[in-house]
Structure 1
């Protein structure tokens, strides 16, 4: 299963640990992680996935695939800026949101519009998002939806 992990580009240690654990779980369970390919939640989740043998895809806003974080296996340069948020949401069969601001909120909205299950950890509390407390619960939600 491809699962999109979305969230803040600048995060604290707690959210870094949560995103890393989400990535570990996805890698352990054989899922492919899709993200925006840059820093913060994206980098921590990719690192966790890579450490457990997972595959990572980064859908970048820029035209330069070299801007992806070091844990992205497949960087996809789009050159479309934040419009790439639609592609991040579309390319996961489920979405896990961690922290985040307006960009994350837009990805949540697109995911819900596409009918994707969305789990949120310390993220936006909006209708359609399953608010969970742990990485395990987030992964379980998108796997079972």
Structure 2
């Protein structure tokens, strides 16, 4: 493909870049969240001069070191939140409330299962601060 159709090859290779990741995330911002998008933007800043499309133009955004630190913390939190939802969904199995709504007949079973998972999750945490944060911010009430 590289020899016979270099334009197509370049397009396929572009899908492996941070720039493509930004385009993909922008399209699905509400699903993946702003933290992931900002993290990829920081990654793009680091590789901007290597990107063919930059054409020598300086990176168009100003991102301070403090912003980069905040973005990395936010992204780590977003990843942890996504993993938590996936774990809860897996543990709930058929009781998982599709699209956020539990069927009337399953409501009490669903609520009890979520409370059990919350208790088990908090019990596994080491730090008192983390336990309090999970207790206060548990998203499945």
Same fold (TM over 0.5): no
Give the TM-score, by structure 2 length: 0.25
Give the TM-score, by structure 1 length: 0.24
Higher RCO (C-alpha under 8 Å, 6+ residues apart): 1
Of the two, which has the highest radius of gyration?
Answer: 2
Higher helix residue share: 2
Higher strand residue share: 1
